């Protein structure tokens, strides 16, 4: 149900053209974090930890025809609608958690998303 509401919000706000189209629109381990069109989740590279302070989750996605600038633009447009507040380029905060977006590969472009307690 939450995915339906998020997708409806994205349609209304005009961010749908950048959304993934294959049905795997959200990361498996972070179910309210969308996977950008042109990226595919690397499902065997997920790391999750539960700590007394909260969860730590690291997910990866890769794509051959997307740029770093496109990734940053997509998440800058999308994440505020999901409650995230940008603290600086590639870093967001929401309800006691922080999300960091960075890159670990160039070809294909590999994006690492790290969710951790603030």
Give pTM, 2 decimals.
0.77
- The per-residue pLDDT for 18 is 38
- The per-residue pLDDT for 19 is 37
pLDDT tens digits, residue range 49-100? Answer: 999 999 999 999 999 999 999 999 999 999 999 999 999 999 999 999 999 9
Q: Model confidence at 106, in pLDDT bands (50, 70, 90)? A: confident
Give the per-residue SS3 of the chain: CHHHHHHHHHHHCCCHHHECCCCCCECCCCCCCECECCCEECHHHCEEEEECCEEEEEEEEEECCCCHHHHHHHHHHHHHHHCCEEEECCEEEECCEEEEEEEEEECCEEEEEEEEEC
- The per-residue pLDDT for 105 is 81
């Amino acid at each position: 149900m939450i995915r339906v509401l998020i997708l409806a919000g994205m349609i209304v706000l005009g961010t749908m053209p950048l959304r993934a189209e294959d049905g795997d629109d959200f990361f498996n381990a972070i179910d309210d974090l969308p996977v950008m069109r042109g990226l595919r989740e690397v499902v065997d590279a997920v790391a999750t930890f539960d700590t007394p302070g909260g969860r730590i989750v690291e997910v990866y996605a890769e794509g051959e025809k997307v740029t770093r600038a496109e990734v940053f633009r997509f998440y800058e447009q999308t994440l505020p609608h999901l409650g995230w507040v940008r603290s600086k380029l590639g870093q967001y905060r929401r309800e006691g958690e922080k999300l960091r977006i960075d890159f670990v590969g160039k070809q294909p472009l590999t994006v690492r998303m790290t969710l951790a307690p603030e």
